[in-house]
Amino acid sequence: MAKVRILPDRVANQIAAGEVIERPAAVVKELVENSLDAGATRIEVEFRHGGRSLMRVEDNGCGLSRDDALLALERHATSKIAEAADLDRLASYGFRGEALPSIASVARFELQTREAAGDVGTEILVNGGKFIHVRDCGRPVGTRIEVTHLFNSVPARRKFLKTDQTEAAHIVQCVRLYALACPRTAFTLIEDGRVVFRSPECSTLAERIAEIFGRQTAAELVPLEAMETGMRLSGLIGRPGVGRGTRHEMIVFVNARPVDSRTLNYALIESYHESLPKGRYPLAFVFFECDPAAVDVNVHPAKREVRFRSETAVRGFVIRAVLERLREIGSAEAGNRKLASDVTVTLSVGKAAAPFAPVLPAPDLSHAQPERRVLDNMPRPRSAAPAPIENRESKNENPDWRFVGLAHGNYALFETAAGLVLLDRRAAHERVWFERLQEQFRAGAVPCQRLLLPLPLELDPIASVLLFDRLAFLNAHGFEVAEFGRNFFRVEAVPAWMEPADAEPFLRDLLGALRDGRLQGKDPDVAREELARLAAAKAVRLRETGGEAELSALVGQLFATRHPLTSPGGRPTYIELNHGELARRFQK
């Protein structure tokens, strides 16, 4: 017979911890939120070994009295709400009263705190949910929480932790998000004794983004500000045409809370529909604000997801706001573009250097020789491009297709003995490039071109870890990328097929693919294939008009591949309409 019993607090807390505290970064998130809720203007976060051995969050917030501190460790103890209706007026990150007891149940947890009214501080120590001591301690007003031996008492969870580097990257990313959300609070983040970033109080959002996400990213953004009844959208968004291969750089806050909101993400993607090619995601750091009653943050254990009372209204507002801004920028930049293209012409015929300010992160300039720097950042003449595809020899006979013409720059019509063929020019080129690159990869002989001056690449910490892990792989495939400082890399050579100007966006896309788990396979062939797929899409550069020579040669090359029927992405390369089909269509 089943016997129903109420779980002891310690067990209940450990179970709750399973939901709230998935990984070290979740501890940091909860503690930083508490510090912000306590009104801190200064927060210092330190961790060691990806948070496994130590996480410490110290603030100058309001602090707690001894009684309150003891109470705060009880389940469902919170100072932030008193009744369910308060959720509609929520102005704090926390409200469930779950985080502290959950963390204390799965780690060694030491809290030191002092409120302004108290003349002495309180220290409480709990280990794996077991209360050890409470005593007076000396400390300034504010709170310091130190979490060590995370998940020691729950080995099952410890097993799920990734490498220290990966866990560290998640912690860094988490602190970055809160530092963005609260530019008025000074943040210091220290990893293994080294300062990762230190953001002073009162910086603007743009400064914070530049400090934390890098100047390269900041330079690609434009400010956004819009208001409608009860809703406000502000922040910075990518210029039209600036996109990423994944959603990781669409960063969205709802009432200052970093969230993963489908509604807002879709609204952003949709707004960029005409400003980005298909499959690209916008770059955005946007803050949506509304009446707390219009949004439910209580739908996810870690509060990552939110639900809006009126999803349609929010979506409509965001799309209108972003579209309008993109249009403004579009028309403002149309004028500039004309100017810029004039400059390009001058440069490529080798006239004196023009003030073509390259966007480089500050540290990279020190080692550069100025005269070469200018040269290297100039647009390259097309002659630097790899040999055009029609110069390649084809192994097989062309099938008996007679070129008729090219429509929309991409669809080539051929007459064949069996009827008609419509060839997708891009898909066919991609297939040819894909197999050519795969061959190079297999042979371990990827021709590469050395850059006159290395290209700086500044990444977020998660991307940096991923790139770092794959340096050997990239270096074996035509790149030469070297680590150059924390989150900084230098691209010293790129594959011969690549325009040097494409290297940065390509590597960012590649990292996006890595982040989505592609290219991850233990089997190097799988990773190589994915790399070739990405590369093939980039390597194809179609001229405006394709002539008979190119297209006939292309058909030959296509049929020399192993899978001429499909593009590397699996789409058909051509469609055949045989006489029977034509007769049927024309009802002959």
Is 550 within 8 Å of 391 (Cβ atoms)?
no
Q: How many C-beta atoms surround the C-beta of residue 41 within 10 A?
A: 15
Residue 238 binds which entry of ligand ADP, Mg ion, none, CB below 5-8 Å type-dependent: none
Give the position of tokens 């028309």: 331
Query: Could you say whether residue 80 binds ligand ADP (CB under 6 A)?
Result: yes
What, of ligand ADP, Mg ion, none, does residue 394 touch, CB below 5 to 8 Å by kind? none
How crowded is residue 269: how many other Cβ atoms within 10 Å of its Cβ? Answer: 18
User: Among Mg ion, ligand ADP, none, what does residue 97 contact (CB within 5–8 Å per kind)?
Assistant: ligand ADP
User: Residue 72 binds which entry of Mg ion, ligand ADP, none, with Cβ cut-offs from 5 to 8 Å by kind?
Assistant: ligand ADP
- CA-nearest of 529, 481, 544 to 508 is 481
Q: Which of 17, 57, 99, 210 binds Mg ion (CB under 5 A)?
A: 99
Q: Residues of 374-401 as b/e, b for ≥16 C-beta within 10 angstroms?
A: bebbbbeeeeeebeebbeeebeeebeeb
Determine which residue in the list 13, 14, 34, 561 makes contact with Mg ion, applying CB under 5 A. Answer: 34
The reply to whether 149 sits near ligand ADP by the rule CB under 6 A is no
Residue 79 interacting with ligand ADP (CB under 6 A): yes
User: Alpha-carbon distance 381 to 347, whole Å?
Assistant: 9
Residue 197 interacting with ligand ADP (CB under 6 A): no
- Greatest Cα pair distance, the chain, in angstroms, is 99
Looking from the CA of 441 toward its CB, the CA atoms found within 13 Å total 24
Q: Is the dihedral of CA 497, 435, 515, 195 positive or negative?
A: negative
**CB of residue 258 to ligand ADP, shortest distance in Å:** 16
- The single residue among 27, 64, 259, 347 that binds ligand ADP, judged by CB under 6 A, is 64
- Asked if residues 430 and 555 have their Cβ atoms less than 8 Å apart, the reply is no
Q: Which of 95, 187, 253, 484 binds ligand ADP (CB under 6 A)?
A: 95
Nearer to ligand ADP, 87 or 368 (CB): 87
Spatial neighbors of 278 by CB under 8 A, at least 6 apart, are: none
- Angle at 403 (CA atoms; ends 397, 408), nearest 5 degrees: 125
| φ/ψ of residue 132, rounded to 5 | -105, -55
Looking at 94, 121, 235, 512, which residue binds Mg ion (CB under 5 A)?
A: 94
**Quick one: which of 100, 276, 374, 463 contacts ligand ADP (CB under 6 A)?**
100
If one asks whether residue 78 binds ligand ADP (CB under 6 A), the answer comes out as yes
Closest CA to 307 of 340, 239, 259: 259
Distance CA 60, CA 58 (A): 7
Q: Which of 321, 265, 254, 260 is nearest to 292 (CA)?
A: 254
Q: Is 178 in the site for ligand ADP (CB under 6 A)?
A: no
Q: Residue 341, Cβ neighbours under 10 Å: how many? A: 10
61 binds ligand ADP per the rule CB under 6 A: yes
Please report whether residue 59 would count as binding ligand ADP according to CB under 6 A.
Answer: yes
Q: Which stretch binds ligand ADP (CB under 6 A): 98-106, 298-306, 459-467, 541-549?
A: 98-106
Binder among 38, 284, 427, 465 for ligand ADP (CB under 6 A): 38
Taking CB within 5 to 8 Å according to partner kind, which of Mg ion, ligand ADP, none is near residue 45? none
The answer to the question of residue 57 lying near Mg ion (CB under 5 A) is no
Among 14, 21, 23, 34, interactor with ligand ADP by CB under 6 A: 34
The partner in contact with residue 174, picked from Mg ion, ligand ADP, none with C-beta cut-offs of 5 to 8 angstroms by kind, is: none
Whether 58 contacts 146, CB under 8 Å? no
Taking the least distance from each CB to Mg ion, the nearer of 13 and 34 is 34
Q: Is 462 in the site for ligand ADP (CB under 6 A)?
A: no
Q: Which is nearer to ligand ADP, 95 or 178 (CB)?
A: 95
Candidates 70-78, 324-332, 382-390, 469-477: pick the segment binding ligand ADP (CB under 6 A): 70-78
Q: Are 483 and 472 in contact (CB under 8 A)?
A: no
In the complex, minimum distance from the CB of residue 56 to ligand ADP, in angstroms, rounded to a whole number: 12
30 binds ligand ADP (CB under 6 A): yes
Task: Rule CB under 6 A: say whether 97 interacts with ligand ADP.
Answer: yes
Q: Regarding beta strands 42-48 and 186-191, do their DSSP bridges make them parallel or antiparallel, or are they unpaired?
A: parallel
Classify residue 573 as exposed, middle or buried by CB count within 10 Å of its CB (0-12, 13-18, 19+): buried
Near ligand ADP by CB under 6 A: residue from 20, 25, 28, 62? 62
| CB 101, min distance to Mg ion, A | 11
Contacting positions for ligand ADP (CB under 6 A): 30, 34-35, 38, 59, 61-64, 72, 77-80, 94-100, 143
Contacting positions for Mg ion (CB under 5 A): 34, 94, 99
